[in-house]
Chains A and B, each alone.
Chain A
Amino acid sequence: MEKLIAKSWWKILAVAILIYTIIGGFLFDVPRLIVLNESIRNLHFHVPMWFGMIILLLISVVYAIKTLRSGSLINDLYSIEFANAGILFGVLGIISGMLWANFTWGTYWSGDPKQNASAIGLLIYFAYLILRNSMNDRHMKARISAIYNIFAFACLIPLLFILPRLTESLHPGNGGNPGFNSYDLDSNLRKVFYVAIIGWTLLGVWVATLKIRLRKLELRKNEFI
């Protein structure tokens, strides 16, 4: 991981993919759907926020488990910074979703099961940040927040992927039909959407690793002074 962070090819890849996403996302032909109209293009920007969030939080939880196994503060550093980036993506996802909902579903917040569930999920992660900041002992902070992190991720999966499917939802792919089949995800949308997920996620990883590297420097500096 350490060596991969220093490499720059994946950062260039992220930038290239996102440029392609912006160009293709705005200019390629999209299916003409009622209500959605051109806003179907949000698929390349709103939805990858959630995919990116899940992937970043998954990395965070992996490092939380590593923290518990090794007790190393470096693993805790990875865990918190990937969680931070994931939470940023989640907040951006919920804001962009509310904007999109206002113009397609008629209101910013319609109490849709998936909207409510993702808000609960984010609140659980906000509590994670508050919990961390409430402790001074670094080793205790690392262990307790790692345990909470695993709990939070375990809550997030049913909240986002199971509960909304058990009931009626405005979100496509929910209310009984899982997956993207009910999306009018034609081949033109797929061409951009799938790579957009990779691009946005890599950007999130870049943001997280920048902070990890900074805080590593900070840690070492404080220990030697």
Chain B
Amino acid sequence: MNLSSIKLLYKTLSLLLLLTVFSPIGNAKGQEYSTSTEVPNGVEMADTMRSNGKIYVVVAVILSIFGGMVFYMVSIDRKISKMEREEKI
């Protein structure tokens, strides 16, 4: 993998992570069975990560673990690419 594709990969990764954390997925439909989002005085806060039985937290944890794995694989990939280039010279 060359440098520009690494950049593209990380851009895609971080964009998708951002989209997840602030995503509206499941919010609209989740309301009917989620009670944990209801605040006593009805004030709505940034509750996404606390709603739906905190499933978003699990998703975030898995995504960060997966992100770490991908980071590691990319670094191995780059190391091998470097070795292949050095061999050709």
Residues of A at under 8 Å CB distance from B? Answer: 6, 8-9, 11-12, 15-16, 18-20, 22-24, 26-29, 206-207, 210, 213-214, 217, 220
Contacts and interface: CB of A to CB of B under 8 A. Distances in A.
Contact of A22 (B2, B63, B83, B87): B63
11 contacts: A8-B6, A12-B5, A15-B12, A15-B70, A19-B16, A23-B23, A27-B26, A206-B73, A210-B80, A214-B80, A217-B84
A113 B28 CA distance: 42
A29 B27 CA distance: 11
A23 B59 contact: yes
A8 B83 CA distance: 17
Contacts of B6: 8
Nearest to A220: B87
A6 B62 CA distance: 28
Nearest to B29: A29
Contact of A19 (B56, B63, B87): B63
A12 B12 contact: yes
A87 B24 CA distance: 38
How big is the B interface, by class?
20 to 34
B77 A210 contact: yes
Contacts, number: 70
Contacts of A27: 23, 25-26, 55-56, 59
Chain A at the B interface: mostly helix, strand, loop or mixed?
Answer: helix
Given A22-B62, A27-B55, A28-B25, A15 B9 contact: yes
Complex A-B, nearest 3 residue pairs according to Cβ-Cβ distance, in ascending order: A8-B5, A8-B1, A27-B26
Nearest to B11: A12
Given A8-B2, A19-B13, 19 more contacts: A6-B81, A8-B6, A8-B8, A12-B5, A12-B12, A16-B12, A22-B63, A23-B16, A26-B59, A26-B62, A27-B25, A28-B26, A29-B26, A29-B29, A206-B73, A207-B73, A210-B76, A210-B77, A217-B87
Given A22-B59, A23-B20, A27-B59, A213 B80 contact: yes
A26 B62 CA distance: 10
A218 B25 CA distance: 47
